[in-house]
A and B are shown apart, each in its own frame.
Chain A
Amino acid sequence: QQQVKQSPQSLIVQKGGISIINCAYENTAFDYFPWYQQFPGKGPALLIAIRPDVSEKKEGRFTISFNKSAKQFSLHIMDSQPGDSATYFCAASWPGGYQKVTFGIGTKLQVIP
């Protein structure tokens, strides 16, 4: 059972365009929503994260939009660059004495010149 649904699985964007990746969740106990970026042959690294008490968080060209009522959140990459080509994972976790993160299936982004 997939607790975090991510789409699309692959995305091709032209350089300078906006990349948008969407995620939806069911468990209302989730209270931390990170996005991880993974380059080929490497481990994922935290890109940006948000908590449900805010609707948007921006760090440079990367923005998370969060809709608590719809249980959806999305990653926007503005002015996409070829160096952004990677796989992006959304994730969600909840407190409970330990950290256990549930990941989406990933989106492979290709930014073409």
Chain B
Amino acid sequence: DGGITQSPKYLFRKEGQNVTLSCEQNLNHDAMYWYRQDPGQGLRLIYYSQIVNDFQKGDIAEGYSVSREKKESFPLTVTSAQKNPTAFYLCASSILLLDAGELFFGEGSRLTVL
């Protein structure tokens, strides 16, 4: 079955540590995205990538970094510079078209900073 796989599902981090969240897709989609979800704030875009080796900052990129070395993979690193990293992180992908279309989401990774 095609889809998006995020890991780990739950992650605990001590303050000052960097953590990397994995996102892999086998949908052959060009575009990939990272969203952060907080209660009462909806989904906010962290980074997105249209093609391999290219990515752009979203609305809340500070304290995060990404890479896109393969079409299938778009890992997100939450760095120690992120002031409030506890959140639910969602990876998504879409067919890259000039026209808008559906976002396909993974099941998310819940990060808790202790």
What 1/0 mask marks residues of chain A from 14 to 51 whose CB sits below 8 Å from any chain B CB? 00000000000000000110101000011111100100
B11 lies within 8 A of chain A by Cβ: no
Chain A's interface size range is 20 to 34
A83 lies within 8 A of chain B by Cβ: no
In the assembled complex, the Cα of A107 lies from the Cα of B100 at a distance in Å of 23
In the assembled complex, the Cα of A36 lies from the Cα of B50 at a distance in Å of 22
Task: Kindly identify which residue among B58, B100, B106 contacts A32, using a CB–CB cutoff of 8 Å.
Answer: B100
Q: Knowing A9-B40, A43-B107, A46-B102 touch, does A99 contact B90 (C-beta < 8 A)?
A: no
What 1/0 mask marks residues of chain B from 1 to 18 whose CB sits below 8 Å from any chain A CB? 000101000000000000
B residues apposed to A, CB below 8 Å: 4, 6, 31, 40-45, 48, 50, 58, 90, 92, 94, 96-103, 105-108
A residues apposed to B, CB below 8 Å: 6, 9, 31-32, 34, 36, 41-46, 49, 89, 93-101, 103-106
